[in-house]
Structure 1
Amino acid sequence: MFVVELETIIDRPPEIQGLAIYQFWKMNADGQLCTLMPDPEEQVYHQKIDDLVVQLAGKLKSLQASAQQTQPSEGGVHIGDVGGDVNLQAGGDIVAGNKTVQQTIENRYIIQQEGPRATVFLAEVTDDLQEQRNDVKRYLEQRQFQVLPDSRYFFARANAAEQLQQAIDVDLHKSTLFLQVLSACVPQRPPGMSTPQLQHGCAQMVKDLPILQWRDPKLDLTTVLNLVIKDFFGAVTVSASSLEEFKYHIRLKLEEFEAKKRREAEKRLAAEKRQAANPSQSSAPMEINDNLIFINTTLEDQDLAEEIGELLDEQGVSFSLPLLEEDISPADKRQDLEDNLLECDGMIVPYDPKSVKWVREQLRYCRRLQGQREHPLKTIAVLNKTANKPSLGMKLPNMHVLDCATLADGSCLPAFIKKKPEYNVISDFTSRMLYLDGIVSVNFDNL
């Protein structure tokens, strides 16, 4: 069931509350509403028809997939097509055609990827931005991202405000990212319906939920008289760019999330393989040390920094990353950087040839803070993954350049980081890190 709106309706009957709504009307430049008609020149009308067709086709495919998943088949339960007919046997094995393979993390990951890539909360908007919201929604759904909410929120009972916030919170906790397109218009909503400010406030209460907001760069903020909305536009999460640039930024953010999920799956797989190869290892306590490594990085190298952190964590070495979230003020980021440089025992700086100026700035700043430290910094490692890199042109005491082509091979670092009583954990880590991909190591045991 869905609803086709030919004009704006504020008070919807309870019978259609919660249903998907397709608005076949738009607001003209003079603020007048007009119904969309099948005119060859009316692009918005045809976009709406396309949206409706895509949604109906998706729903039919979903119903078909659900029917296949619940349909019993000989020797197992059909769970979808992954390179042919695949069935899950009662014993946990996967049957593909006439072959039976052991169910592993790789198989489970492939099967899970048959669903949406990720779930995104795309906030409701004022009527003047409905087309922009639909544009973003269409962009995401074409790339197999699920978009919430499915329909407009509306509650008509006495406790409508409480129900509304609970419904928003449920959808937010299902989501990977919160998106919002903003207007200078004051939303006209009856009690029981949501507003952009309410949804944004709820999103801020969800821990670790990234927030991306957009506004038209042509909007002159000096003409915005409503102080609440004006403050809304001043948030650091608001981007004033073209809508195409905003959609591109969304895609990059979601791809970062997917890359992190893949690394986590690979990490779980590697741990499962290690445990299968040596079951007694899982019961052995991990050696913990009190050294702290600061991985000084930027957003561009965040994936590499997180991968280094995971490898350190596997070996019981503490690490810290800088605050990189866009909603954190520059002053707070600078204070966090200074605290990390004063309190860490060692620092690793991922080095991309494009960022040579930035790396040199970080090394100089680290040197300036040495006089404020209680103990000298034990080691500084500049990690390079690019061949024929340009020289940094500077050298600090206890600084070493680590040339590593990749960190992806799980057998490299875990195989070479073997803690020995006579070794300092940090120096042992940095020296053995250079064995990656057969590169000759440098001995830091005397640090």
Structure 2
Amino acid sequence: MSIASGFAHDLFISYAHADDKPSGGRTAGFVSQFVTDLMAEVERKLGGALDIWWDHHDLAGNMPVSPEIVEAASQAAGIVVLVSPAYLRSAWCRRERSTFLQALRARARTGAVFIVSIENLAREKLPEEFQDLVGYPFWQQLDDDRTTRPLRVDFETERQTYYDRLCKLVQNVADHLDALAARAPEKRGAIDSVERVVDADAPRVVLAEVTDDLVHQREDVRSYLEQLGFVVLPKRRYSRDDLALHRTQLREDLEQARLFVQLLGPLAGDRSDEPRGMAWLRWSVADEVLSHESIIQWRDPQLAIDTIDDADAQALLRLPTVRSCGLAELKRAIAETLQRPKRTMVAPVPKCVFVNAEGADRAFADQISAWLADHGYIVLDPPNASDPAEWRESWENNLTHCQSLMLIYGQTKPGWITQQVLQSMKVNARRSEPIELWSVCVGPPPVEPDKLSRLGLRFEALRFLRCERGFDETELRRFTDLLEAPGDIA
């Protein structure tokens, strides 16, 4: 008798016969071992036996789909697909899969598809119906970084990984069966993706897709967070054929998430659509939507950044939002961040920046002012009065009300910068609260020797932005990070 009320079977197992042949001295093949363990864990979790339909005798690959298969597929609450190269090559598996999906669409009941990968397969190699589903990796990568094989429960070093992933699958199967029991039949849809039943108010986190070398670490983080009751996005893979749609899908998830987490390694990722790699694309979208305090990037502390040949991967790893720590420490940090009480959102008063420049540097200053304004800051331009008294009044007014002063040191003489700093200090002394951030943006053109050596000005609170070769968004983000940093910047 099935656990899911109204269904003849709880799960239908779809697999290739070749994947259940014993090897390496084992008496049971991978699929037989997997199904046995799956049934035992579900019984432990739910206190009842799982009704699984699987044909472990007649999967030769050249027979028609029997009426028994059609009946089992149409009466199963879900399907577990064990994906492998043998599965993808099997015409029988293709017919079996098609039969199950057609049965789901034809009946007014809910079905779930659980993808179990026993080899590392590129998304585009999967059947189209499964490419958007997030699966469960049950494979081990060997030390040549290209060969993979199914996890071995009889290997002590792999036993815990195998059972951790099995238990995660079991939890999601249990959640799905519980959800079926809670739904009224008339409200059931045609086919559902696998999603845990969680508190609607549970914090959400976007855990970015990773390069192949970090798949297991990402799965470890995802499993840990889901076990704590957090909602981990994405639930479906984003489009790779349409990059604009990919950005939109990521943005939609980010807008409902409290945190963006990205695991980074020495690889920049696929460059077929994004010149700097997909990892850069994902970070750039997150950077547009979330504040830096809501972005956590991670790298292995054993990774030597200077030895990485890929310049884009190296630059990404040097971002200020990247943490270098153990994976366990990262998981705890993510959980602690998500568990903090959500702050009441009060519209912040935008900070004010006085961008001061002489005539020759006004065009460059306008670029910076426009960028700051686009990012929510109030920007004060240099006075434009011909009357000296009026000019002086406007200049002092700007200095009195700004939170930050930025001087543009491009084509102007070093003496002008020194004079502005000294004169501004006098106004600052009369303010009720001092200027928070003093900065000099070293603008074009580049000069030899270094322009800063010509300045001859030492002031501990002064921060320098290096933009000699033109507008540099990275430097401006460093400036805004300093301006938004809590506490006394100086």
Q: Give TM-score scaled by structure 2 length.
A: 0.43
Larger Rg: 2
TM-score (normalizing by structure 1): 0.47
